[in-house]
Structure 1
């Protein structure tokens, strides 16, 4: 009896995948673990293996086709490969018709002469009854300016086009709200400079410290480590943190696993390796683990702050701006030079309210302002 091989769901928010390449053909026998085809999402390419032994009967979707999750892509003699089927999308409603332009009163001769001379009658007041335009009124009309040639559209590659579509959907459907705070990074930056001056010490960056602070804040508030999933909250295991990475292929947000449980030195090494894989186009399925929070640091580009968009399938994203030198009064009121950065947390209002988001952001800032604790391995629970 023939079974179906289905398009698998490779992430919490995946609804479709690009069948990039077939590795088998009809009539070929396969065993468990043999690669059947390659699926590309907007993030990574994944090889899909046979769940058992069987013979490929038919390929139902060609290479290059975009296939909904749960739809059959092939028939074979093995058992059906289980994958959740998605409900068909509701048909699009036709857009309301545009209102008809106002009727222009003009004599037939005036209309014919206007067409021949390339004149625009709109806005012209005629001398006839009720402003009717006559042939004698035409010298007053002005020929419309020739339209500028349209700019050539720049086609997007599949990854950028999919990312644009999904972020547009996220901005429409996720009820965003934002909280902002300043973080005093004076002690942290001084400690980092001292650390990086040590012979043989691995280089630490502000992004490393931000990842550690975000991970530890999540570990200390596990009740906020959740996402929205079909009218319910879905708790996530592990204080994993996504990191926005600019690559030649576009912007990616791979996930640093267990960011809230790693010593800072180990976290830095793992983060550097993650960024290298992203820029080389070598991210794995494990690099795209579910996470509730992503970090986007644009401070190195000189931006004062960033108001980001929550990534699909997540509930928070932290935007970080450039470090600025500012004078603040000390306990005696004397001005003291401090180094601060603006943090903006965008959150999904279905998952967090304003008070919870503000407390979380305050927790991140407090961790950054006590940098010596970052050099110690985090205690259980953050």
Structure 2
């Protein structure tokens, strides 16, 4: 019996995804649990596994296309029926090269406008194709309804534009010998998203230290109570709690910039979610801790530990990346004083956390006193925040870390 394979819905808010890669070729059998394809959304690259044995008959959507949820993308059979035998190799006239697949972007590209401010009607896929081909949409005539520009219009314009003049010859410099390897889908997705974030988001940075002698002592006392059965508390859990409490006190920091409408828009989230960077065998990911602003410390630690385990086991879903305006990225275990981080795409700030350092500071009488300090760097989106607002947020985080008993109370 021949069946259809459709684009899966990987999260409640997912409406479309990029079919990034086929892992099974037409005519190839697969077993339950084998990875059939890789789907990218604006948050994550997900491997889609087969839920039963079968044979892939044909793919109807090539890799690189953006596909709506529920759209048929392939045909398969549980018993191999309908699978065509592999054709014998034969001489054939050279076929016209297929268009290069469109690379997935982190967010839909904003609709372009003409010099007079008039919006250029175009599909999201056409905008991505134009960016990849270097085509000016203002010079393209659309064939769609109301003159909307489609992918075919962009490709036709690319073929008819004048050929560029050859650049003057320069001496060729031989590249150093080295081994090339193809990045994983997750690495390629992260590279595109972070490049876009660093290029398009106007970052500014605030650095400060928190005195954490009391904080470290509180953590040690909590973890010494091994009979309670409660989760162990880490420095990351305490920083997440401090950020959540600061977010509850300053809900104006729980906002993000939305590029989609012309001119942009400010989106207030108001849920107190906080992202947490997790190092995994597949690369760095940043799932979101739901309602961190209002979680008791023990429950926050338990849910953060669960997220970390699922991230390292490769069991995160699209929903685990939804929401959140701020992320905590703790590199303190790697012997670094400060870490200046790139804002996670779709968010508005990120807190880089360094290692705890023992330093001597003068007391009120000028005598040296040994302190334990934690280096913090807040990266913020200047479209949303000015230095005063972001610094007030950073100081609230520091106040929570320096008065750690407050973290035992929910806001």
**Same-fold call, TM cutoff 0.5:** yes
Seen in structure 2, the aligned counterparts of structure 1 residues 73 and 372 have a Cα distance that, compared at 3 Å, is: same
* Equivalent of 2:234 in 205, 209, 224: 205
Partner of 1:355: 388
Q: Pick from 242, 251, 255 the counterpart of residue 226 of structure 1.
A: 255
Instruction: Give 1:164's aligned residue.
Output: 191
Offset, 1:269: 0.7
Any stretches of 5+ residues in structure 1 without a counterpart?
23-36, 49-57, 76-83, 103-121, 123-143
Distance 1:310 1:302 in 2: 22
Q: Using the TM superposition, give the Cα deviation of residue 283 of structure 1 relative to its aligned residue in structure 2, in angstroms.
A: 0.8
Counterparts in 2 of 1:1-382, with a 5 A limit?
16-18=17-19, 39-41=39-41, 43=44, 45=46, 60-62=60-62, 65-68=63-66, 70=68, 73-74=71-72, 86=124, 88-89=126-127, 91-92=130-131, 93=134, 100-101=168-169, 147=174, 150-201=177-228, 202-230=231-259, 231-376=264-409, 378-379=410-411
Q: Deviation digits for residues 279-331 of structure 1, max 9, x if unmatched?
A: 00011233212110111000111011101001110110100111101112223
Q: Tell me the residue number matched to 1:32.
A: none
TM-score by length of 2: 0.65
Distance 1:47 1:7 in 2: 8
1:16 deviates by 4.3
Cα distance change of structure 1 residues 347 and 96 upon mapping to structure 2, 3 Å threshold: farther
Q: CA RMSD in A?
A: 3.6
Distance change in 2, residues 1:225/1:98 (3 Å): farther
Q: Are the equivalent residues in 1 in contact too, given 2:338–2:375 (CA < 8 A)? A: yes
Tell me the SS of whatever aligns to 1:66.
coil
1:43: Cα distance to partner? Answer: 2.3
- Note closer, same or farther for the CA distance 1:212–1:101 as it changes in structure 2 (3 Å cut): same
Rg (Cα) greater in structure: 1
Contact 1:176 1:346 in 2 (8 A): yes
Q: 1:286 to 1:147 in 2, by over 3 A?
A: closer
Q: Is the 8 A contact 1:7 1:69 kept in 2?
A: no
Tell me by how many angstroms 1:71 deviates: 8.7
What is the CA distance between 1:72 and its match in structure 2? 8.3
Provide the residue aligned with 1:137 in structure 2. Answer: none
Displacement of 1:59 in angstroms is: 6.9
How many residues align? The count is 304
In structure 1, how many angstroms separate the alpha carbons of the residues matched to 2:312 and 2:355? Answer: 23
Separation in structure 1 between the aligned mates of residue 237 and residue 394 of structure 2, nearest angstrom: 17
State the Cα distance separating 1:186 from its structure 2 match.
0.9
